Amino acid sequence: MAATAKAVRAAGGEATVVAGDVSNADDVNMIITRTVDEFGKVDHVFNNAGIQGVGAPIVDMAEADFDELIAINLKGPWLMMRSALRVMIPSGRPGAIVNTSSFLSTAATVGTSAYSGSKAGLDAIIRACALEAGPHGIRINNVNPGVIDTPMLRGHGDAIIPSLAAQAALGRIGTPEDIADVAVWLCTDEARFITGQSILVDGGFTIPGPR
């Protein structure tokens, strides 16, 4: 987090670091309050915190592992949106909220029942939230990454990368920048008429049909 803040400042921006648990309402409220204290307002929110959790067939998965994954991946963004909107709506200013979902909200692999469920739930939640926030000029969308080159993916071993890349129409896995660019775009006026959408960014990985 400190490295990210340093990069923001080096680029001419302002940044502050606040540590908290997104699945804890008090921590979430503290994060939003601190943001208002530091910058005077909240215009845009990017909910990117999430975990892969324990991947296991449903018959082998522990209830505690399921609860942790849902708490962070689904309840966390819900809490952040609730706290942010309680500040954004009274301000009377337009704004945007973006959440990180996943291509696995509509797809699945063995062992992803809880993870896929958390992301599918997030895709559903934003539709209702977008209806509620829209009259106040606030847009809410998800960006749904495909296979992205992150430490989470690399944790499965580098050997899987070529085969995953071969399944994408563009012939490569994604980069964090591929997702960040879409998240930023969704907060700009260029996306002013987009809300309640889950935008798949996967390089054609999930296009149906033989490879």
Positions marked catalytic: 115, 119
Are 194 and 139 in contact by the 8 Å Cβ rule? The answer is: yes
Q: Which two tokens stand for residue 123?
A: 């895709």
Q: How many residues does the chain have?
A: 211
Phi, psi of 23 (to 5 degrees): -90, 0
CA 194 vs. chain centroid, Å, equals 17
User: How large is the angle between the packed helices 113-133 and 63-70, nearest 10 degrees?
Assistant: 30
Start-to-end C-alpha separation, the chain = 39
Burial of 16 (0-12, 13-18, 19+ CB in 10 A): exposed
CA–CA gap between residue 141 and residue 183 (Å, rounded): 9
